[in-house]
Amino acid sequence: MEYRTLTPEEEYVIVHKGTERPFTGKYDNHWEEGFYHCKRCDAKLYRSADKFDAGCGWPAFDDEVAGAVRRVPDADGIRTEIVCSACDAHLGHVFEGERFTSKNTRHCVNSISMIFKPKQAMDTKTDTAIFAAGCFWGVEHHFMRQQGVISTRVGYTGGHLENPSYEEVCSGTTGHAEAIEVVFNPDIVGFRELAILFFEIHDFSQVNRQGPDIGEQYRTEVFYKSEEQKSTVEELINILQDKGHTVVTKLTPATKFWGAESYHQRYYERTGNKPYCHIYRKIF
């Protein structure tokens, strides 16, 4: 993952968890339509539609882009820090119970941690898909090379624990699967093509394992975001079974997707290694 070069002022807040002075940030009194992105890695964090005036001196949001923000206990032992799920950049803190809006949540964010992109710059058509097919390093390696894919993010979903860590997921007690969230342009690549790639890069006949990786977190599963996605996967499963393949892939409605730690994102791209248990083979 490539990071922007930060100024000393940006580094003070984003890396060293400082705080800009209230009422000084460029986005405190800013109401243009668009999206707020992470200053360091450019991940999309907040929608302008979720911004409100809390009168606190910092930009306030009552919701985040799904899976974009991770909550961690603050070093002061009292507050809850919020960081970018993709790169761990410090954003600010989150507060609940203040009743500013119906969502009863306030993300108090430093302007200096964000960069705003107006709506006219965000008009590319997008859709999202979530797949689990074993170790998410290898799955991302293949999906990020697919034409039409705008972005990929590895993480955890399908479990019962909020904001799980890698160690907690690997313990086998949280119910989560290692998964990938794929944002794509449906005018270039359709969900069906992505689902075909999903089946062609892993062994969908294995229960709770993928190659040498064993555990519930390595299961094969599609977390569908619409009935259309569900029916598409069902169609492909039927085709595979007609070809004589055993398919144990689960189909589950998508729920909260928790971004994994930054060192997991684009792992093989950063390390220069190759997947050890995800090899493409044409089936369809």
Asked if 37 and 44 touch (Cβ cutoff 8 Å), the reply is yes
User: Residue 29's CB: how many other CB atoms inside 10 A?
Assistant: 10
Question: How far is 54 from 72, CA to CA, in rounded Å?
Answer: 22
Catalytic residue among 87, 135, 170, 277: 135
Using alpha carbons, list the distances in angstroms from residue 211 to 5, 33, 110, 135, 191: 39, 47, 44, 10, 26
Identify whether 135 is a catalytic site residue.
yes
Question: How far is 128 from 14, CA to CA, in rounded Å?
Answer: 28
Question: How far is 277 from 268, CA to CA, in rounded Å?
Answer: 13
Catalytic residue among 38, 41, 87, 108: 108
Asked if 259 and 68 touch (Cβ cutoff 8 Å), the reply is yes
Identify whether 84 is a catalytic site residue.
no
Active-site positions read 108, 135
